[in-house]
Amino acid sequence: MSRISANPAISPSDDSNARAKPREGRYGIAIVGNDKIIDWLVPFLESYRETNASLPLYLIPYDDNVTRTRRAAEIYGAHFIEEEPVEIDRLAKELYPGIFNSNRRRLRKLQALALDLDEVAYVDVDVILFRDFRPIFGRLEAGKSEFIVASPSFEYVYNERRSEYPFLADALPFNDGFWVTSNKYLKLSDFIDTMAKDAAIFHDVRKRGQLFAQPLVNFVTHRRGVKIALLRDLVENASHESFYKAPGISFAEGKPLDPDGREIYFAHWAGAVALPSTGVFDAAWTRLSKAAWARMKS
């Protein structure tokens, strides 16, 4: 993963006001899960219990294969979302008509935007949390920081044709496995309206290769001019790093630091083809997994 300091266009902000005490509001975390990925879900839930139990957690079902997922939600006190995401599934079918349903359902993460919250943090389920997320909330500000991301993603969003569209010239492509926003700045209807007008542009510039939600979330935020901010520019000593293969990671009191000593809030196994075993974050994942399965079986 590229080091953020290597790109001058996204260097840390000098605005000290961005690091002020966050505002109070109704905040929550949203994830998507089902029984097929239960081995990822339960370590996430255990990490949530250890670090963020004071924040409400919303579990969006990926599909109807959720018998054990419902049980896990009950054990960990997560709100299981019962509403069918009709509009999201319709949009996914329109955008990806030749794609198998299981891939189209990746867009169900957009249901996080419909939750009755002032701000929501969406997190992919192949993640474990290391720190309290409360300092992350209350940082959104109109015209400055309307959509917060942790990590850039320079290779897995757009193809080379992005250079043909001026509105993408200075856009920051990001990993959509973590974001914080409010429906004041980004709503589900924004995705529907944008695709109704600009689906042809989206398909022209989107990166292919099992990428569905990430190019879409990027495109809609960029096309609508939503102000994207980096976590490390808003939260004191926060790192942009989260990749499970990141080099130079150290631990202090059980919590990871990047090579610059900045605090890593979560680890993300993006693109992993097997469960964690020997990587730098894997011992923590394994401990959480064992604790979670013990709780699930009790």
Predicted confidence at residue 100, as pLDDT, reads 66
Q: Are 179 and 152 contacting, i.e. CB atoms less than 8 angstroms apart?
A: no
Helical residues (DSSP H) of 136-267, grouped into ranges: 188-205, 213-223, 231-234
Side chain identity at 198, as an amino acid letter?
A: D
pLDDT digits (tens, 9 = 90+) for 53-102: 999 999 999 999 999 999 999 999 999 999 999 999 999 999 988 776 77
The pair of three-digit structure tokens given for residue 43, joined into one six-digit string: 């370590």
For the chain, the domains span 27-236+280-296
Give, for all 298 residues of the chain, the pLDDT tens digit: 333 333 323 333 344 444 455 566 799 999 999 999 999 999 999 999 999 999 999 999 999 999 999 999 999 999 999 999 999 999 999 998 877 677 888 999 999 999 999 999 999 999 999 999 999 999 999 999 999 999 999 899 999 999 999 999 999 999 999 999 999 999 999 999 999 999 999 999 999 888 889 999 999 999 999 999 999 999 999 999 999 999 999 999 999 999 999 999 999 999 888 999 999 999 999 999 999 999 999 8
Predicted confidence at residue 21, as pLDDT, reads 55
As a whole number of angstroms, the distance between CA 254 and CA 266 comes to 12
Predicted confidence at residue 99, as pLDDT, reads 73
In DSSP notation, 41-68 reads HHHHHHHHHHH-TTS-EEEEESSS--HH
The pair of three-digit structure tokens given for residue 99, joined into one six-digit string: 């794609």
- Please name the CATH architecture into which domain 27-236+280-296 falls: Alpha-Beta Complex (3.90)
Q: What is the 3-state secondary structure (H, E, C) of 175-208?
A: CCCEEEECCCCCCHHHHHHHHHHHHHHHHHHECC
| This prediction's pTM | 0.90
CA distances from 72 to 56, 68, 77, 264 (A): 15, 6, 8, 26
Predicted confidence at residue 186, as pLDDT, reads 97
Predicted confidence at residue 102, as pLDDT, reads 75
